[in-house]
Amino acid sequence: MDKRAALIAGLAVTCLLAARSATLSQGAQQPAPPPDAAPVPYALTMGDMMNTLVQPRHAKLGIAGRAGNWPLAGYALVEIRQTFAGIVKAQPRFRGYPVGELVDAALSAPLRAVDAAIKQQDTAKFAAAYDQLTQGCNACHASLDHPFVVIKAPAASAFPDQDFDTQR
């Protein structure tokens, strides 16, 4: 090993040791909770709820409707509605706005249109209604100063372990 490589390696080890020391000293400042202490529940943020609860259901709804799997699309629609009802209860206000009113304004009409298309088993009507739903999501994001969160119809499934074409 030449001198330059040895110097870089030495600096890297020094940085790692300094970081480890800082971590250990921070741990000393915050004592561990007693073993019998009740766990502190994690409160999901609005972003957590949108990313983990709503977005996968939106994608599954779109994939099922595009595949013409109407039972699965109907199920996904129920799931997305229940998810929003839960979010409204979990976080009734976001950035000072009433979440229930935002959801109603942005999504009520598109969700009804999606429901009608599913009941009619009409792929073209579903595509138009799903597009309205997606636009409603994006309009809500924009109204809450998140115009950079742009939702679109999924181009492919992010769920390789689920068969969307099967109708049972």
Assigned domain for 151 exists: no
In the chain, the number of structural domains is: 2
Assigned domain for 62 exists: yes
Q: Identify which has the larger pLDDT, 15 or 77.
A: 77
Assigned domain for 77 exists: yes
Asked whether residue 93 falls in the same domain as residue 20, the answer is no
Average pLDDT over residues 73-91: 97
Assigned domain for 161 exists: no
Q: What is the CA 106 to chain-centroid distance, rounded?
A: 17
Q: Is 86 left (phi over 0), alpha (psi -120 to 50) or beta?
A: alpha
pLDDT over 90 at 63, yes or no: yes
Asked whether residue 66 falls in the same domain as residue 120, the answer is yes
User: Which own/partner contact pairs does 126-134 have at CB distance under 8 Å and 24+ positions apart?
Assistant: 126/65, 126/66, 126/73, 127/65, 127/66, 130/61, 130/62, 130/65, 133/58, 133/61, 133/107, 134/58, 134/62
Average pLDDT over residues 37-58: 93
Give the global pTM: 0.75
Assigned domain for 164 exists: no
| Structural domain harbouring 26 | 1-35
Q: Mind listing the pLDDT tens digit for each residue in 109-156?
A: 999 999 999 999 999 999 999 999 999 999 999 999 999 999 999 999
In terms of Cα–Cα distance, which of 150, 73, 158 is closest to 113? Answer: 73
Assigned domain for 83 exists: yes
Instruction: Compute the distance between CA of residue 72 and CA of residue 96 in angstroms, rounded to an integer.
Output: 36
* Structure confidence at residue 31 as a pLDDT band (50, 70, 90): confident
pLDDT over 60 at 18, yes or no: no
Residues 6+ apart with CB under 8 A from 16: none
